[in-house]
Amino acid sequence: MTIPAESFPPTTDSQSTDEQATALPTMAAAIMRGAHHIEYGRIARPVVLPGHVLIRVQANSVCGSDLHYWHEGRIGSAVVATAFTPGHEFAGVVAEGSGDPFGLPDGTLVAVDPAQPCGHCYWCHQGNHHLCPNMTFVGAPPVPGAMAEFIAVPFSSVHPVPADFTATQAALLEPLGVAMHALDLAKMRPGTHLAILGAGTIGLYVLMLAQISGALSTAVIEPLAYRRQKALELGATQVFEDVASYQASVRDTPARGADVVIEATTSPLGPRHATEAVRIGGKVVLVGIPDGDEFSLTGSLVRRKGLTIKLSRRMGDIYPRAIEFVQSGRIDVNAIVTHTLPLSQVRQAFEMLADYQDDAIKVVLEP
């Protein structure tokens, strides 16, 4: 089932007014009004449209893209122009009989794919739903996100999870899927020497996935010492503070670089560093969203190396595979969770991650 983009009611400033509060049921939510401006307040509860399910949110992890809205008030053309609720890595339970038409009992724990393609464009017809130019996205303005008590989502976006899953595990299927898609693009073979730029959520999940995918070595390049330590704890072969240190370590090897480099930073220099770390004829997959939404490459370097460079956008139909990875115990998505906070501390969560406080890597908010 495909739900048109207009089925997502936008969040507006009026949702938090006293007049609205007396006219409609309200709920607690994070309200972002621009860069460095997020607060905990009350907005109107979502209206459940036909084909939708009302979810009582139980866990929402803060993503690096949420931090772009915090730092810059935008990601490309997605601008925080009016008050809106962020959040797209989330899970919760079916609420108030809204799942009845779809055979989902109240209380069913579900993960939710925040991306909703249109289903009728050329790219959707080609099976590339993740590249749909008409895609709407939960938590990308003006579409309201899940840092709230409730959210209404299309049934087509809902993925019930096994009974032994926690809400946090279900919420983290989304970033795990992004990491899985990046490795799918790399077409990494057993015996690959892999380098990962960035030891945040995506970089660490790539590291974990690479080890069960046959990587011969995994080098993680990360400027923050506590994140390098986490990479070692999760099985990285080597860690480096910067690309120059990594290059020095491989200078006397035959390939003088990694077979595959996954770039998962927010630095505009990240893509260039990835092309410096990869060997001649190697592959680079760019996953990170750069600060300022721009980056540059050295043309002569990438040309003379004959590199294959791919940019990763979202993911395909990966949730079933991601669920299997977690259920089987092959991937412990909770291994990177450093903090769990109540939603009322949403500002503290954003500040903690933005300023790298208290060795934060993954922060989960619970309404």
Domain containing residue 120: CATH number: 3.90.180.10
pTM (two decimals): 0.91
Gap between the Cα atoms of 334 and 246, Å rounded: 28
Alpha-carbon distance of 128 to 125, in angstroms, equals: 7
CATH number at residue 191: 3.40.50.720
Domain identity same for 166 and 188: no
> Looking at the structure, do residues 34 and 142 belong to the same domain, yes or no?
yes
Amino acid at 18: D
Paired tokens of 333: 């998505």
Cβ-count burial of 320 within 10 angstroms (0-12 exposed, 13-18 middle, 19+ buried)?
A: exposed
Question: What was the pLDDT predicted at 22?
Answer: 52
167 shares a domain with 72: yes
Strand pairing partners for 363? Answer: 339
Residue 38 forms part of a structural domain: yes
Q: How many domains does the chain have?
A: 2
Q: Is 326 inside any structural domain?
A: no
**In contact, 161 and 91? CB cutoff 8 Å:** yes
Same domain, 76 and 89: yes
Q: How far apart are CA 65 and CA 313, in angstroms?
A: 13
Q: Is residue 293 part of a domain?
A: yes
Same domain, 186 and 307: yes
Cβ proximity of 109 and 161 under 8 Å: yes
Q: Indicate whether 43 and 25 sit together in one domain.
A: yes
User: What pLDDT was estimated at residue 11?
Assistant: 42
Domain range spanning residue 237? 176-311
Which parts of the chain register pLDDT below 50? 1-21
Examine the domain organization and report whether 11 and 159 are in the same domain: yes
What local confidence, expressed as pLDDT, does residue 68 receive?
94
323, part of any domain: no
Longest dimension (CA), the chain: 71
Q: Is 254 exposed, middle or buried (0-12, 13-18, 19+ CB in 10 A)?
A: exposed
The pLDDT score that the predictor gives to residue 212 is 94
Residue 279's H or E segment, with its range, is strand 278-286
Same domain assignment for residues 22 and 63? yes
Looking at the structure, do residues 156 and 182 belong to the same domain, yes or no? no
User: Is residue 183 domain-shared with residue 166, that is, in the same domain?
Assistant: no
